Copies of this chain bind each other. A is one copy, B any other.
C-alpha cells in the first residue's frame, strides 16, 4: 500500500479518531505528512509479514503535551537525528519505521519520516489507539525493551536512556520533556522483524485511513458521517463494538498542562439540558460517566467529534459551547487481555473500578 498526498486529510482524520483525544493536533501532523509526501513521493506501507525475521524495525514517536504541539511544530531534523543516534548505538541501520501508537501525530509522523527517509513503514502499531505513557504498548507486554531509547529536540540535543524496565524508562524520560521544550522525538522499542510479527497490532494504518475515508466520503456526499463511521467500524475486527454514547454540547471544561501532559475533564450536556456526560482525560479521553455510571473506560476508545461534520476533536482543541457527539468503540482483543489491562486498564490510570467492555455498558 502507498500513502499519497491525496490520502493525507483522510489518514489524519482517522488517526485523530483513534487518538481518542490525544496524540496531537491532526492538522499539524497532516501538514508535516503532506510536506514529506510532496518532497519525497508516496510512503511505502508494508504488512508486518513482509519483514525478514532479522530486519531491524524502529518505532518513532513524539513525546510531550498536545497543548505544546500546537505551538511548536516538530520537524524532520529531530526525527532523523534520533533514528541515526539509535542506529549508531545499535551498530546497524533500520530496515523499516513503525508507529508506536496509531493516534494523532504519532500515526502521521512515522509515515512522514518513512517518506522522508525512503524507508518502508509497517502497517501496524503497538496500541490500536493512543496512550500517554511509554510502557503502554503491546511491545512491552510481549517483553520487548523500550531502551535503548533516544530523545531529541530541534536544538540537536539528544538523550539516550538505558534501563531494563520499561516503566523506569518512562519515569526517567518524562521529566526530560520539559527542558527539551515541552515536546521531543523518540526512537524506541527497536526490535527484530520476528518480534514485530509477534507483537504488532496489524493493519492499523490501513484502518486509520479507512475510518478517515468513511467520514470524508459521507461528508462529500451529504450523508450522516456518524452512520458511515459506525458502519465502517462494525466491519472491522478490532473496533466492531461501537455506538454513539452521547449527543450534546460542551458546558464545562477544565484543562491543565501538568508534567508534560494535558490533564482535565469535559462535561457535555444534551441539547434538551436534561442529562450530562462527563469525560476525564490525560492526553487521551479515559472515562465517560453518565449520571455517575461508567459507559466507556480505558482501554476502549472514547472519541469526541463535531456533531455536524464528524471531525474528531483532540483534548487541546475542546472549546466551551462546541456541539459534539461522543463515540465509544472496542479496542483490539489483545488490548483487553488480563496482562494488558494491568498496564493500561482503569487501575493503571488511578481508577478504582474494573474494565467494563463497551459492549456491556449499553443502556
Determine the residue in chain B with the shortest Cβ distance to A85: B162
When distances are taken between beta carbons in the complex, the residues of chain B under 8 Å from A160 are 159-160, 162
Q: Given the complex of chains A and B, what is the CA–CA distance between A77 and B180 in angstroms?
A: 29
Q: Please, what's the 1-or-0 string for A142-159, where 1 marks a CB less than 8 Å from any CB in chain B?
A: 000000000000011111
> Do A158 and B162 form a contact, CB below 8 Å, given A175-B175, A176-B175?
yes
Select which of B158, B168, B179 is within 8 A of A155 by beta carbon.
B168
When distances are taken between beta carbons in the complex, the residues of chain B under 8 Å from A178 are 175
Number of interface residues of A (CB under 8 A): 21
Q: Say yes or no: is A163 at the interface (Cβ < 8 Å to chain B).
A: yes
Select which of B158, B164, B165, B172 is within 8 A of A176 by beta carbon.
B172
Asked if A162 and B164 make an inter-chain contact with CB atoms under 8 angstroms apart, the answer reads: no
Asked if B161 and A159 make an inter-chain contact with CB atoms under 8 angstroms apart, the answer reads: yes
Q: Given the complex of chains A and B, what is the CA–CA distance between A197 and B176 in angstroms?
A: 34
Asked if A163 and B156 make an inter-chain contact with CB atoms under 8 angstroms apart, the answer reads: yes
**Interface residue ranges of A123-158 to B (CB < 8 Å):** 155-158
Q: Please, what's the 1-or-0 string for A162-189, where 1 marks a CB less than 8 Å from any CB in chain B?
A: 1111001001101110111000000000
Asked if A156 and B164 make an inter-chain contact with CB atoms under 8 angstroms apart, the answer reads: yes
Q: Given the complex of chains A and B, what is the CA–CA distance between A14 and B155 in angstroms?
A: 41
Asked if B157 and A162 make an inter-chain contact with CB atoms under 8 angstroms apart, the answer reads: yes
> Can you list 23 A-B pairs with a CB-CB distance of less than 8 A?
A85-B162, A155-B165, A155-B168, A156-B163, A157-B162, A157-B168, A157-B172, A158-B161, A158-B163, A159-B162, A159-B172, A160-B160, A160-B162, A168-B179, A171-B179, A172-B176, A172-B179, A174-B179, A175-B175, A175-B176, A175-B178, A175-B179, A176-B176
